[in-house]
A and B are shown apart, each in its own frame.
Chain A
């Protein structure tokens, strides 16, 4: 009984973690800044490729993962300065531009690095409870998801940068009038979002097949989590991941992955039909 309960909780945590980590960077770039970033998956891929390259070069895994996240963040800053910056008032064009970037990057990696990249292998270590055995690394992922949410919360709610960032998004003209360097804030926020996506790729790199198209397998989960979560980056993402994770875990367990995925998408449609502002928007409305 204990073994079964633990297995069910583990399965739930596994699904929720994937949703949170998929969505974390996008929650800032799309949820907060309003850029529909179709290249989100490519930031994830970038983090994974840099991590794998560094590990192959002999760097310890945690450092390699950090460098993957930092690289993706820097790439994000460059993309903001060159492309995204000019499209804040043209959201539809930003879809097209980021989608174009996504296609170019995917094909560029395919052409330069080839169709496949040697995997790095999950760090050793597993344990068993009853009939079930678990990879310890998965618990590192669970912890990382929680830490990532806590870190984003602290950054945007407890620091001067966070206040400036939120002020800039809400009313850029007023923020500028009060002396906030909004251009820098935009670039930094976009870079942080890209860096978090890169961290997600870095964290999952040992567990996944590393291929140019790997970002796509995160994209659907990322967007549905952010849309269902609503504008509040941390609370919205967490609530959406818990709600959607519950639906998916139960259906996965009872009927398998096909029904799990269908159920997840139906749940998304129902939630955004009933709560067009997402879960966090709905709660804010009820409070006020």
Chain B
């Protein structure tokens, strides 16, 4: 009897010790909102895979601050209402330590008010139209000063100053078109036509005629989603033979893998990542990815950014010694929050919490081979800092554009 009681006490003590140990080793919860079905599922699946690869690598190397990380992924299917519903669930019920995700700028803008209300830390992992000055958000993708300030001068010099913009009709397309207008005008060119397309539209007979009537030297292609991508097939079939530039084609949408050649011939883009990048670091990264996901159609830039984001989070949390948002921002404010990524060393800018990137220009030829034709080196995300966004001083939670600047 005595023995039983002693044994019972022993078991209880053991259990409580295990509970204590389990508490210290509770996993870090990472909330992921990535579209893996719906119109954007095609380009969203590599994002989920990028996060999964990074989580596996980090966990095998001992986790973050000695704790394993656990991904909680929900699929909002490109629906902004679901984004809000799921973000609320992740932040409120699952109490995730960090939120990562969102593809379209519309989904990001649907998420930000919630992220701010819960005062959470949020990584946005897409290239985008730039301008978000929000202390709760860290932007991992490329922005216009990295993509348009490199692409547009090249296109104007090589092909001419008459530009026709086709863009998806929502904030990304509208603001990117505004950037194009501004930069083309500064270079002495002119936007000879501009057309916004509702998401989901797949027929472009009229658009192709409008382009032929306007006779542009090149097209800025900012169409989004599988339906709108049919533009390329229809333009090619109609014999529309005009060079195109874009901030989202090839490296993000891998249209050159989805359409039969030579549909994407003459497409130019500037990117921090594309699967054809063949530096030793990039090759090693691609090998690790393909070992885990052998059937991946293409490792796109958003997938790559999602991978980098988790490693960035690990670096920030371990330097801060905590998962606390303000402690992590303290590390960013030191100005040397950098990670070694497959593209090279990239750093978070303290003023805007956007990321520097090594930018390269790619060209697609008739058999859809991608060639690097220009290396711009590392470009800082300088625009927000120049117009007065300084998150180390204040937090306006706003998005600025060339025609909507902060009030002095």
- Give me the interface of A with B, judged by CB distance under 8 Å: 7, 10-11, 14-15, 18, 106-107, 110, 114-116, 118-122, 126-128, 131-135, 137-138, 206-209, 211-214, 216-217, 249, 252-253, 256-258, 260-261
Partner of B203, one of A15, A115, A118: A15
Q: Is the CB of A213 within 8 A of B169?
A: no
For B203, the chain A residues whose CB sits under 8 A away are: 14-15, 18
Closest-by-CB residue of B relative to A106 is B37
For B196, the chain A residues whose CB sits under 8 A away are: 256-258
Q: Is the CB of B260 within 8 A of A121?
A: yes
Closest Cβ of chain B: how far from A151's Cβ, in Å? 23
Residue B276 lies at the interface, judged by CB distance under 8 Å to chain A: no
For A115, the chain B residues whose CB sits under 8 A away are: 36-37, 41-42, 45, 297
Q: B190-214 toward A: CB 8 Å interface, digit per residue (1/0)?
A: 0000011110111101110110110
Closest Cβ of chain B: how far from A241's Cβ, in Å? 13
Q: Is the CB of A137 within 8 A of B237?
A: yes
Take A11-B205, A217-B227 as given contacts and tell me if A110 and B238 are in contact as well, using a CB distance cutoff of 8 Å: no
Closest Cβ of chain A: how far from B299's Cβ, in Å? 14
Residue B369 lies at the interface, judged by CB distance under 8 Å to chain A: no
Q: Is the CB of B201 within 8 A of A209?
A: no
Q: Is the CB of A217 within 8 A of B42?
A: no
For B183, the chain A residues whose CB sits under 8 A away are: none
Q: Is the CB of B233 within 8 A of A122?
A: yes
For B205, the chain A residues whose CB sits under 8 A away are: 10-11, 14-15, 138
For B215, the chain A residues whose CB sits under 8 A away are: 131
A257 to B236, CA, bound (A): 20
For B206, the chain A residues whose CB sits under 8 A away are: 11, 14-15, 249, 252-253, 257, 260
Nearest first, the 6 A-B pairs at minimum CB distance are A121-B260, A126-B239, A122-B237, A135-B237, A14-B205, A133-B239
Closest Cβ of chain B: how far from A125's Cβ, in Å? 8
Q: Is the CB of A209 within 8 A of B227?
A: yes
Take A11-B209, A132-B209, A249-B206 as given contacts and tell me if A110 and B41 are in contact as well, using a CB distance cutoff of 8 Å: yes
A79 to B36, CA, bound (A): 28
Closest-by-CB residue of A relative to B193 is A256
A106 to B226, CA, bound (A): 14
For B37, the chain A residues whose CB sits under 8 A away are: 106-107, 110, 115, 212
Residue B258 lies at the interface, judged by CB distance under 8 Å to chain A: yes
Closest Cβ of chain B: how far from A211's Cβ, in Å? 4
Residue B39 lies at the interface, judged by CB distance under 8 Å to chain A: yes
Q: Is the CB of A209 within 8 A of B226?
A: yes
Q: Is the CB of A119 within 8 A of B238?
A: no
- Give me the interface of B with A, judged by CB distance under 8 Å: 36-39, 41-42, 45, 169, 195-198, 200-203, 205-207, 209-210, 212-213, 215, 226-227, 229-230, 233-234, 236-240, 257-260, 263, 295, 297
Take A14-B203, A18-B203, A107-B37 as given contacts and tell me if A135 and B238 are in contact as well, using a CB distance cutoff of 8 Å: yes
Tell me how many residue pairs across A and B have CB atoms closer than 8 Å: 130
For A107, the chain B residues whose CB sits under 8 A away are: 37
Q: Is the CB of B258 within 8 A of A118?
A: yes
For B42, the chain A residues whose CB sits under 8 A away are: 115-116, 211
For B240, the chain A residues whose CB sits under 8 A away are: 133
Closest Cβ of chain B: how far from A265's Cβ, in Å? 11
A133 to B208, CA, bound (A): 9
Q: Is the CB of A132 within 8 A of B233?
A: no
For A213, the chain B residues whose CB sits under 8 A away are: 38-39, 41, 226
Q: Is the CB of B198 within 8 A of A258?
A: yes
Closest-by-CB residue of A relative to B213 is A131
Instruction: A126-B238, A133-B238, A212-B37 are known; give 19 further A-B pairs, CB within 8 A.
Output: A10-B205, A15-B205, A119-B258, A119-B259, A128-B239, A133-B212, A133-B240, A138-B237, A207-B237, A208-B230, A209-B226, A211-B39, A212-B41, A213-B39, A213-B41, A216-B200, A217-B201, A217-B202, A260-B206
Closest Cβ of chain A: how far from B101's Cβ, in Å? 17
Closest Cβ of chain A: how far from B266's Cβ, in Å? 16
For B230, the chain A residues whose CB sits under 8 A away are: 207-209
Partner of B259, one of A121, A137, A257: A121
A115 to B229, CA, bound (A): 14
For A114, the chain B residues whose CB sits under 8 A away are: 295, 297
A135 to B209, CA, bound (A): 12
For A206, the chain B residues whose CB sits under 8 A away are: 233, 237
Partner of B237, one of A126, A131, A212: A126
Q: Is the CB of A209 within 8 A of B233?
A: yes
Closest Cβ of chain A: how far from B395's Cβ, in Å? 34
Closest Cβ of chain B: how far from A264's Cβ, in Å? 11
14 A-B residue contacts at CB 8 Å? A14-B205, A18-B203, A114-B295, A115-B37, A115-B297, A118-B260, A121-B233, A131-B213, A132-B212, A138-B238, A208-B227, A209-B258, A214-B227, A257-B206
Closest Cβ of chain B: how far from A80's Cβ, in Å? 27
Closest Cβ of chain B: how far from A223's Cβ, in Å? 14
Closest-by-CB residue of A relative to B258 is A116
A15 to B227, CA, bound (A): 16
Closest Cβ of chain B: how far from A213's Cβ, in Å? 6
A114 to B215, CA, bound (A): 38
A253 to B227, CA, bound (A): 20
A207 to B197, CA, bound (A): 18
Closest Cβ of chain A: how far from B364's Cβ, in Å? 15
Q: Is the CB of A119 within 8 A of B260?
A: yes
Closest-by-CB residue of A relative to B262 is A121
Closest Cβ of chain A: how far from B350's Cβ, in Å? 37
Among B39, B42, B238, B240: residue with most chain A CB under 10 A: B238
Q: Is the CB of B195 within 8 A of A256?
A: yes
For A138, the chain B residues whose CB sits under 8 A away are: 205, 237-238
A214 to B230, CA, bound (A): 11
Closest-by-CB residue of A relative to B231 is A209
For A211, the chain B residues whose CB sits under 8 A away are: 39, 41-42, 226
A206 to B198, CA, bound (A): 22
Closest Cβ of chain B: how far from A197's Cβ, in Å? 16
Q: Is the CB of B297 within 8 A of A7?
A: no
